[in-house]
Amino acid sequence: VTTAADVLANRAPWSCECADALEWLGALPDDSVDLLFTSPPYELARTYGIGERMVGGQAWVDWMVAVVRAAAPKVKGLIAVNCEGQTRNYSYSGVPFLLFADLHRAGFNMRKPPVFHRVGIPGSGGPDWLRNDYEPVICVTREGRLPWSDNTACGDVPKYAPGGEMSHRTGDGTRRNVFGVRTDKAIGTRTTGNKGESETYRTESLKLSRTKQSPGREGESEQYTPPVKANPGNVLYIPVGGGLMGSPHAHENEAPFPLELPTFFILSFCPPGGVVADCFGGSGTTIDAAVQNGRRGVSCDVRQSQVELAGRRMRNVTPSLFGE
Ligand SMILES: C[S@@+](CC[C@H](N)C(=O)[O-])C[C@H]1O[C@@H](n2cnc3c(N)ncnc32)[C@H](O)[C@@H]1O
């Protein structure tokens, strides 16, 4: 059986162990994981035959705070928890928001939760309420900038190159591009508001050079190269349902997420060759996304049936770039 220790020592691309999330996280070495992406069992909705372990409401929130606390020393980068509450008797438990609040109160450094827009799910509306199309992804990081990120990895090619086309209207109705000038091939100056610094822009249709004139740093200039892809924003439109989950094995778990969801977070927040963890591994979607994208994956699930399911799934996955 391959263990997380094998993966961390670069002897294997992935592992899935039968363990309780809290115990498994506790056994990982500090700073051994680049990204934790996971989706815990949602309150009492799914007992998975281990009902005594399942908790709802505030007890669920307390349990998840403990899971994040156990993960925090192990994860250098982002801890991301995709979760949802329940609606019963026309009342929503709101546990993702309670979890956000309790993590915040417990002193964790929160990031604004991205929205997983589950295109295609009829959802949990009701006779008097709206269909539910989204779930939040609660995000915690250490303080300061993330050690690694690529926030344009999953964006689309921008519609216009910077400076090439107008992007917005100002209050008087004039169209401006993102650098505040009216046309391409124009020169503009603006004060940045940063200790009296001013910046001069020269825009051409496909590239933009920027000269910074800062007190004491005269003549410094930098070339701005526009990214190939634009920042995709924090609403992730991902279709779900039969044939869209990324693997036929996913449907053997009661509540899988689509392969595209962890893929987004892995490409954006785990460096190539890095380690992605999922402490509620289910059918192995996260480790699948990790090894398909040149990362390593470690996971656990409390049910042996899910560990075997993930193993069957991973037999068909070819690691990309592993060992290079
Ligand atoms: C929402 S599912 C995860 C599905 C997974 N993301 C996928 O795509 O297949 C939650 C999983 O957590 C597992 N689980 C429940 N309690 C657990 C615990 N205490 N420790 C580890 N895993 C647990 C369940 O067996 C279930 O497979």
Whole-number Å distance, alpha carbon 279 to ligand 1 midpoint, is: 8
Residue 59 CB neighbour total at 10 angstroms: 13
Task: Give percent of the chain with pLDDT exceeding 70.
Answer: 71
| CA 280 to centroid of ligand 1, rounded, Å | 4
Which residue type sits at 30?
A: D
pLDDT-derived band at 87, boundaries 50, 70, 90: confident
Ligand 1 nearest atom to the CA of residue 258, by list position: 8
Angle among Cα 115, 289, 320 to the nearest 5 degrees reads 145
For all residues of the chain together, what is the average pLDDT?
A: 83
pLDDT of 213 reads 52
Q: Residue 255, Cβ neighbours under 10 Å: how many?
A: 16
> How high is the pLDDT of residue 208?
46
Distance (Å) from CA 258 to ligand 1 centroid: 14
List, for residues 112-130, the tens digit of each pLDDT value.
Answer: 999 999 876 665 678 899 8
- The model's pTM is 0.83
Which residue out of 54, 283, 306, 314 has the highest number of ligand 1 atoms within 8 Å of its CB and is therefore the one to mutate? 306
Structure letter (DSSP) for residue 33: B
* Residue 74 to residue 70: CA distance in whole angstroms: 8
Distance CA(32)–CA(45), nearest Å, equals: 32
Integer Cα distance of 156 and 87 in angstroms: 35
Distance of CA 95 to the CA centre of its chain: 19
Specify the higher pLDDT residue, 143 or 176: 143
Ligand 1 pocket, residue 21 CB under 6 Å:
yes
Q: Look at residue 45 and tell me whether its pLDDT is greater than 90.
A: no
Summarize the chain as % helix, strand, coil (round to 5): 25, 25, 55
The closest-lying atom of ligand 1 relative to the alpha carbon of residue 255 is 1
* Contact (CB, 8 A) for 246 and 260: yes
Residue (of 174, 172, 113) closest to 140 by Cα position: 113
